[in-house]
Amino acid sequence: MLEIEEGRFLIEIDRNVVLLGNDIAMDSFGKNKIRVNNYVNINGKKFRVIGVLKKSGESFSDMDSAIQIHIRDARNLFSEIIGNNELNYIDITVKNNADVEQIGEEVREEMRNLHRVKENEEDFSIITPKFINETVGMITTVLTIFLGAVAAISLVVGGVGIANTMFMSVTERIKEIGILKAIGAGEKEILSIFLIESGIIGLTGGIVGILFAILILLVIKNFGVPVFIDIFVILGAFLFSFIIGIISGFIPARDAARISPLEALRYE
């Protein structure tokens, strides 16, 4: 809901006056702040400022960057692009506890009749809280899918990297494996050693990734974006990276556990 920070709203009899959004009044003229009774120039004509809106932060209507003048003044200034009976936007305020969606449907039906169009052929749009929620939900879903795909690709690349590292580690330590088996180590012990090692590699990568993510969040926070760091999410990421390391290193660890002691000791 729009609120006045200074001055008043426009009324029907107002002419050659303007109501400014907060960002326009406070940030658009450098160090100079626009106040009530100051004058601004719009398309070569001077308008007296009668009010400044409080900052709303709305994303759909963006009233913080709005400049409001009477419709007749607007038609005089922009007669080439605004017709005599043309309106681009109508803001409807409902009473408390009113069914906004029902009112929206009634307005939609009335607009269909006025524009003489059928359902799904509308040349207008009705923005209600439900519409906003659905739009935000759709955007969030797309972002979630996109980020999930990026995460999946990162996991595959990381898993392949860990598996490759463990294959190299097994190749370089075949003789050590032979010695361990010669002194009584079984396949389970060898398998456990290499699985723990691959898990530690995954955990190390997870620590680096988490630190990098925290750094990015701190940078974003400086731009006024609210961020939240959950300790349980961090712990979950640690555990997940360790598990991914174990899964990725299972095949190299299994191959190491199956090496024959005699072949391992003869390996050069």
Contacts of 52 (CB under 8 A, 6+ apart): 4, 5, 6, 7, 19, 20, 21, 22, 25, 26, 34, 35, 36
What's the chain's Rg over C-alpha atoms? 33
pLDDT band at 120 (very low <50, low <70, confident <90, very high): confident
Can you give the residue ranges of every domain in the chain?
4-90, 92-126, 131-266
Residues 43-67 have a mean pLDDT of 82
Contacts of 56 (CB under 8 A, 6+ apart): 2, 3, 22, 63, 64
Which amino acid belongs to residue 84?
A: N
pLDDT band at 256 (very low <50, low <70, confident <90, very high): confident
Euclidean distance between CA atoms 107 and 104, whole angstroms? 5
Give the per-residue pLDDT at 158.
81
Is the pLDDT at 29 greater than 60? The verdict is yes
Q: Residue holding tokens 């040349």?
A: 123
Give the per-residue pLDDT at 185.
76
What confidence tens digit (pLDDT) does each residue in 204-218 have?
888 888 898 889 888
Measured CA angle at 160 (ends 154, 161), to 5 deg = 85
Give the per-residue pLDDT at 17.
94
Residues 52-77 have a mean pLDDT of 80
Give the per-residue pLDDT at 50.
94
pTM over 0.75: no
